[in-house]
Amino acid sequence: MTGATAGAEPRPRHISQGEYASSDGSGRPISTILGSCVATCLHDPEAGVGGMNHFLLPEANGSAAPAASFGINAMELLINDLIKKGADRRRLTAKVFGGARMIAGLSDVGAKNAAFVLDFLKREGIPCTAQSLGGTQARRIQFWPDDGRARQKLVGEAVLVEKPVAVPVAPSDVELF
């Protein structure tokens, strides 16, 4: 056996902002780390399939970021992927995480993300069976897409920055996104 111990749990697939993953038959959990972003874990218990997305903002507002970085796109991409794998949209249940306020003094994008996902689920008739939204702590999430289990670990209290600190940068080093 190479790189694994007998009986050990499979190594999680990690997703980042603007990504999603779903059941692949391996039993591997999906993981992500969240601050103000939101992750939605969807599961169809009858089909035994599920998946997780990780979105950055509720809507594009002219941003050039990938489409899956925005709530509506991230939700539809994940739902469509699950349907292709045998899920029925009417049987989906959700668990949602994230939406923390990570930096004081700026707009509370975490609250906007949380409000978006709860409104989306309500409009689409997808029951939210568990949620951990808001606060000021980052979260590490693991989701087992085949059976719908989720685990959250809070990652220390965020140090809220009251005023943004200006960092001198040479003009050639500025990157806007």
Instruction: Give 110-116 contacts, CB < 8 A, sequence gap 24+.
Output: 110/35, 110/36, 110/37, 110/38, 110/134, 112/57, 112/58, 113/36, 113/37, 113/38, 113/55, 113/57, 113/58, 113/71, 114/38, 115/58, 116/38, 116/58, 116/59, 116/71, 116/72
Task: Name all domains of the chain by residue range, CATH numbers in brackets.
Answer: 13-173 (3.30.1330.200)
Contact of 150 with 39, CB cutoff 8 Å? no
Q: How far apart (Å, rounded) are the C-alpha atoms in residues 61 and 71?
A: 12
Q: Which of 74, 85, 65 is nearest to 39 (CA)?
A: 74
Q: 29-44, pLDDT tens digit by residue?
A: 999 999 999 999 999 9
Average pLDDT, the chain: 83
Task: Output the pTM of the full model.
Answer: 0.80
Q: Identify which of 154, 147, 116 has the alpha carbon closest to the alpha carbon of residue 40.
A: 116
Contacts of 85 (CB under 8 A, 6+ apart): 22, 23, 47, 49
Is residue 3 predicted with pLDDT exceeding 50? no
pLDDT in tens, 10-69: 789 999 999 999 998 888 999 999 999 999 999 999 999 999 999 987 675 655 555 566
- Rg over alpha carbons for the chain, rounded to the nearest Å, is 17
